Amino acid sequence: MKFNEFTYERPDVAELKSAFEDAVQIFRDASSADEQNAAMKKVVSLRNSFESKARMVKIRHTINTEDTYYKEEQAFMDENLPVYQGMVTDFHEALVQSPYKDELEKKWGSQLFRLAELKVKTYSEDVLEELKKENKLSSEYVKVMASAKIEFDGKELTLAQLAPYSQSSDRETRKAASFAGNAFLKSNEEKFDSIYDELVKLRTGIAKKLGYKNFTELAYDRMGRTDYSAADVKVFREQVKDIIVPLCTKLREKQRRRIELDKLKFYDEPFSFTTGNPKPQGDAGWIVDKAKLVFSGLSQETGAFFNYMAEDELMDLESKKGKAPGGYCTYLQDYQAPFIFTNFNGSDNDVRVLLHEIGHAFQMYTSRGYEVPEYQFPTLEACEIHSMSMEFLTYPWMEELFGKDTEKYLYSHLTGAVEFIPYGVAVDEFQHFVYDHPDATPAERRAKWRELEKTYLPHRDYDGLEYLENGGFWHRQGHIFRSPFYYIDYTLAQICALQFWKRSVENRESAWEDYFALCQKGGSLPFTKLVEEAGLISPFEKGCVASVVGEVEKFLATIDEDQFAKA
């Protein structure tokens, strides 16, 4: 069954609420653990049906934000997702209050109950209207970003379509493309600041109503972080500041020399080689065909899985007018089908994003046997281990996609993985500042962002571009608006993925076995436990960052960069 054959019909929320309340009441009235387990099946069925519909709407709306029908359906979901969240919270409340909790834990595991307790704590009907408004504001941000129609090179381009020009071997083209993209963002600066200011104050109000000191505490609980705190994250950020930032400064200096510049400007950063950045040797269809060879080489399981994704058209990969920016993977429970959304633009990032999202999709598909939605995928920092590790585990087959550019791709991907981490922790520290100071003005937020850039990205030179010199770069980071505090997850996962890379170099079969086993565990364990089960060192453990970054430095030292200067 292909994706375009999947059906959607707007759910009747009143009918759903009635059926949900009946199922939860049966659960509450049950006289044994067995009866409660049976009642849970009805609850799960209702949840899977509604969530599949909500995700279907998201997919079809983001594929074409100008489609009137799905624009209206997205507005309907923005309005009703908080109502649905309340239904699920009622079930979670019944679950944690169960007199048969000990018996249920034997069947379902303790992680379900830890997550349920947080869901109860982070929701109340008292904040229902605020949650609806939060969804609407997040959708408004997406709408503004998707509205980009940038005149460049004789064409009208989206931000995603403009991106390849930033990797041009012609410096003036890179600069002009970068300035054009930032001109669009600058023209919407007041909108971005206004939307975000509303979101910050709204989220802070929600947190206070729910009894939290601030939104940061609520956000950690919303994210299901049952096993680490903001203090642990700070320890990790300090390791990054002390160990990775100096390495990145060295890597940027090497890049400056490699591309023969007197001074590296921000628009030069995406350009790594005078002979041009590595590029896949074909278009989206060609990449999919070659990816079939990559995944069949990696393992029997990934080979069969990728063929299924391609044949059932469960991927929308190419950038087009009206399509929302970014990329994601989601899961449609009713069809037991993952779906991948990306914006290919002809750069090496097309391959990286496809591998990344396939990592997510493979885990979701591998975990499809779990009966409760909570275990279909883990908390987000653990989810990103699957995706980022897939980028590294497929290294031995990159020649299929890059041909003579393979060494370039491997070098730029590995250095890029490291260089991303300081930016990722800057985004996280910025959000801690914002929600610790909810009354800060937009100007004060921008000033804080610029200060953090100077700490974590000390090499960055904005060439006098006022919008960025004044701290506007973070406006383009959708996670800050739509998924607060979901960014440190990428950096924690990157350190774990680099450990998988290190282990795959030492013993590929053993590394794959542990990765596959990690995917199979889904969300049945919290982050630090999953890391431990996979044989990895926790990023919160002092020495973790140094151990893996040391291996990266050793590996990069073996590569002769002069080869990249040859035509």
Q: Which amino acid, one-letter code, is at 275?
A: T
Q: pTM for the whole thing? A: 0.89
What are the pLDDT digits (tens) for 300-333? Answer: 999 999 999 999 999 999 999 899 988 999 999 9
Please tell me the predicted confidence (pLDDT) of residue 427.
98
Q: In this structure, are residues 461 and 510 in contact, taking their beta carbons and an 8 Å threshold?
A: no
Length of the chain: 567
Percent residues over pLDDT 90 in the chain: 90
Rounded CA separation 115/290 (Å):
40
Query: Residue 567 carries which DSSP code?
Result: -
Helix (H, G, I), strand (E, B) or coil at 8: coil
Q: Which residue, among 32, 23, 44, 40, has the nearest Cα to 103 in the 3D structure?
A: 32
Q: What are the residue ranges spanned by the domains of the chain?
A: 3-133
What are the pLDDT digits (tens) for 244-279? Answer: 999 999 999 999 999 999 999 999 999 989 988 888
Q: In this structure, are residues 291 and 317 in contact, taking their beta carbons and an 8 Å threshold?
A: no
Q: Which residue, among 408, 366, 407, 363, has the nearest Cα to 388 in the 3D structure?
A: 363
Strands 337-344 and 315-318, sheet pairing:
parallel
* Residue 466 predicted with pLDDT over 90: yes
Q: What is the mean pLDDT of the chain?
A: 95
Give the pLDDT band (50/70/90) at residue 566.
Answer: low
Sole residue written with tokens 């390791």: 239
